[in-house]
Amino acid sequence: MEKSQKESRGRLGTCFYTVLHRPGQKPVNASFHLRFSSAFDLQEEEWEDTIIHELIHYYLAFFDMNDKTSHGENFKRMMKDINALRKTCENFLQTSKEW
């Protein structure tokens, strides 16, 4: 079985995985690793953004939904959906504090 390494590297985080090439079969993405830099003193929200960003890369690779470019349509749609959910959660938390 042939293997090749893939990664989507950002300044703060990286999603690594291996592509397994089996004769006569569709390649399979496996052995995922996420790595984050500790070289930056980030605020909590910046860490959240970074972790979510790399988790989207992980999700798209795991479910074989990678775009042709690392931040293509699928990536952008998922980021938009997650950001909308985060906004909903923030609003909920703010209103629930008032109770």
Residue 36: CB minimum distance to Zn ion, A = 13
34 to each of 41, 74, 89, 92, 97, how far by Cα in Å?
19, 19, 25, 30, 34
Interacting positions 17-36 with Zn ion (CB under 5 A)? none
Residue 82: CB minimum distance to Zn ion, A = 13
Distance CA 45, CA 71 (A): 20
| Residue span binding Zn ion (CB under 5 A) among the ranges 10-18, 31-39, 76-84, 85-93 | 10-18
| Residue span binding Zn ion (CB under 5 A) among the ranges 5-13, 40-48, 76-84, 85-93 | 5-13
| Residue 17 burial (10 A CB sphere; 0-12, 13-18, 19+) | buried
Residue 57: CB minimum distance to Zn ion, A = 6
Measured at the CA of 53, the angle between CA 51 and CA 55, to 5 degrees, comes to 70
Is residue 54 within 8 Å of 10, Cβ to Cβ?
Answer: yes
Nearer Cβ to Zn ion, position 22 or 76?
76
Q: How many residues bind Zn ion (CB under 5 A)?
A: 2
Which residues bind to Zn ion, rule: CB under 5 A? 8, 10
